[in-house]
Amino acid sequence: MASSPLRIVADTNVPFALNAFGLFGPVALQSGQDIGPTEVAEADVLLVRSVTKVDEELLQSSPVRFVGSATIGTDHVDQDYLRKRGIAFAHAPGSNAQSVVEYVMAVLLAAHAEWGTALAGKSVGIVGCGHIGGRLAERLPYLGVRVLRCDPLLAEAAEGAGQTHDYISLETVLAEADVVTLHTPLTRTGPYATHHLIGGGELAAMRPDALIINASRGAVVDNAALREALEAGQIGGAVVDVWENEPTPDPGLVSLTQIATPHIAGYSFDGKVRGTAMLHDALSDWLGVPPTWNPETVLAEDLPLLRAPDGSLSETAWLDALARQVYDIHADDARMRDLLALTADEQGAAFHHLRKTYPRRRAWERHRIVQSEVPTELRAAVADGLGITLA
């Protein structure tokens, strides 16, 4: 343990920060978008999520020695500056991966149920096959989906090691996939930069009935080009969770999407708690002490059994009806669209409020349904695809 208590500043959206970090010293909770030089002027430890930009401007006059971000992405953190200052850094890779996977599966089921078409037999192109895309690729085949993987970094690594792989080019994915779902970090330099990875040319290369899903970073897709493509009916539809110019995305684009949500794909309760636990473990390791906080103390909960949907429904509609019991993505969409009635000045605050007050959404594996109530031909889809426990 540190020789004296650490002074800790934490984003209010880092759940259970008081429980997980209070043993290290006093914890001051602060809204992430309001964390500035004044708030960290006497802090030893700073714990953030993605809305706080951590750079020289924020920290130059601060005694901060450890920065933790309870997120997968790190594009909001100037890690070069932290290294120069000798400030330790940790984040939470994979913490909310399962949540984003479940978001995408909810999207796929909801969209195809609405269209009255079968999800089984469709091709889904996954662009970026790391923590999120890799897990999604493992689970979609249980829903009868053909998976097309695109990840040039992983392809290059496999080839360098003399290994075979099934990664294909982005051009092939765009030409062949019924659905393209994006799971890349946001990078602006290097041979595989992802800033505006999907622009007007890429959208024009997609199938005219294809659906695009962005639950990665807003600027991975050129939002102006996406709006133009939707206005022209160039693609079948778009589902957007992350936006350029957050917290004030283009209202015109919001209104054109099939499903719009306020950057909450990774906001399951379980994923956020795992992020807190990973930072707790990292800070403990930095201090040279064993972790003392067990996240299961807040995750353990007996949830009611799920109800079997109407047996007369199609397979896709049946799975969608089951998924809606654990996560109603249409409720998130409705709350996002309510922002369109607000003034431009009001929308930013309302966007942040939706994220801050997001309802508790549990991991699908925490939910149970009696096995005998699931049609035999759908049991693998439920247990291995959706990840819902068969009781």
Sheet strands (E) in the chain: 8-11, 27-30, 45-48, 66-69, 88-91, 123-127, 146-150, 179-182, 211-214, 237-240, 259-260, 368-369, 389-390
User: Is 296 among the catalytic positions?
Assistant: no
**d(C-alpha 99, C-alpha 265), whole Å:** 7
Q: Residue holding tokens 């933790």?
A: 68
How many residues belong to the chain? 391
User: Is 280 among the catalytic positions?
Assistant: no
Catalytic residue among 149, 263, 355, 366: 263
**d(C-alpha 177, C-alpha 151), whole Å:** 15
Listed residue (269, 259, 267, 268) closest to 336, CA to CA: 259
Locate all alpha helices (DSSP H) within 296-340, ordered by sequence: 296-299, 315-326, 329-338
Sheet strands (E) in 16-56: 27-30, 45-48
Question: 263 near 256, Cβ under 8 Å?
Answer: no
Catalytic residue among 112, 131, 135, 217: 217
**d(C-alpha 18, C-alpha 29), whole Å:** 8
User: Is 56 among the catalytic positions?
Assistant: no
Listed residue (373, 359, 372, 270) closest to 322, CA to CA: 373
Measuring CA to CA, how many Å separate 93 from each of 16, 160, 278?
19, 24, 9
Listed residue (50, 53, 44, 55) closest to 79, CA to CA: 55
| DSSP codes, 140-168 | GGGGTPEEEEE-HHHHHHHHHTT------
**d(C-alpha 277, C-alpha 383), whole Å:** 26
Catalytic residue among 102, 202, 244, 246: 246
Please give the positions annotated as active site.
Answer: 217, 246, 263
